[in-house]
Amino acid sequence: MATLTLRQLTKRYPGGATGVDGVSLEVQDGELLILVGPSGCGKSTLLRMIAGLEDISSGELLIDGERANEQTPRERGLAMVFQSYALYPHLTAFENIAFPLRIAGRPEAEIRRRVEETARLLDLGELLARRPSQLSGGQRQRVAMGRAIVREARAFLFDEPLSNLDAKLRGQMRTEIARLQRRLGVTTVYVTHDQTEALTLGDRVAVLRRGTVQQVATPRELYEHPANIFVAGFIGSPPMNFLPARPEGGELVLPFARVALAPEVAPRLGAGALVVAGLRPEHFEDAALVPAEARGRGLIFRARVDATEWLGSEQFAYLRLDVPPAEAVQLRSLAREQDTEVLRPQLVVSLDPASRLRAGAEAELWLDPRRMQLFDPESGENLSASSARAGTSSA
């Protein structure tokens, strides 16, 4: 096992482009840390720097407190699992798993023992005689994982290992990886662009944007208390709704209602100044399905439904909002600056599957405003962890 310490790691390319910009992280012994972000954010580059496959332009990498910048990949003792499996097509699954042990010159008896132990761990016992072409995608990925495990590495590095699999198989493999990591207790850094993988697998998650870390936190903290608009919009599916809002007389004026501000938040907002209100789809419900005792804890408003999506276990409705042109322009500008596409004059609301709301009809909806977040429209910073309270009035 190992601890990994990243101190201001930076990767600069010829010509001045920066792939990773001053990243500092501490990966604890036995922890599974997820690096997540959109394509081009630097997460795979950062992983390759840890592995020794990319040079470190500046900063320092420590493995168990020892500087590793100048160490070769082999000297670092880390095992990497790639997106492409990287199996030798002419070798059996047994020989693919055994390959690093043969390179290290291990005795044949030890090789057989460790490969068979690893195969049992990954449920590959009956597949060891097969070549990669005779295996499914999930089986090939398990062989690739076996090759990493058999080395008894100090830490595992996963670079989007499930992205080549179909959705059902990805779900199965996520469960297997989580079970395996808990059983082995090996320090693991896992790169993905899939937020579902990030939220379900990670002990902690580091969200990257343009080569910098935006926030490092547990999955629940990222979801409930995002540091800025980028994190709030990236984490969550469907993504958080962002609406223009203005403080006025102790209330926040939204496009469809007025919400009473929490006393500790109101003084931090300039009267009449534009802020961005963040509301997740599950903060809404069909008002007809809200129990009487809960109705008073939120507000009820009316809006026309553009479209609905019924998925059996869940349902979504899309509502068009009337946003003043000047505020719509500000939202579009902020969206470009924050690299997010979710700033638009539309509400996505999550409904009980029993709801009978229909496209084209006016609907009565309920909102829990206590879970609303407020963001600075200039910096994107989250201005409050809990920005509103009960005691609201319809606009």
Mean pLDDT (the chain) is 87
Phi, psi of 300 (to 5 degrees): -115, 135
What is the tens place of the pLDDT at every residue in 296-350? 888 999 999 999 999 888 899 999 877 777 777 777 777 777 666 656 667 899 9
pLDDT of residue 392: 41
At residue 247 the predicted structure's pLDDT band, cuts being 50, 70 and 90, is confident
Average the pLDDT over 56-76 and give the result.
Answer: 95
pTM of the model: 0.86
pLDDT of residue 393: 40
What would the two tokens of residue 345 be? 């004059």
What is the tens place of the pLDDT at every residue in 96-128? 999 999 988 999 999 999 999 999 888 898 999
What would the two tokens of residue 359 be? 């496209």
253 vs 334, which has greater pLDDT?
Answer: 253
Q: Which domains does the chain have, with CATH numbers?
A: 4-230 (3.40.50.300), 239-394 (no CATH)
CA distance 17 to 20: 9
Amino acid identity of 172?
A: Q
pLDDT of residue 174: 87
At residue 278 the predicted structure's pLDDT band, cuts being 50, 70 and 90, is very high
CA distance 310 to 196: 20
At residue 391 the predicted structure's pLDDT band, cuts being 50, 70 and 90, is very low
Phi, psi of 8 (to 5 degrees): 50, 40
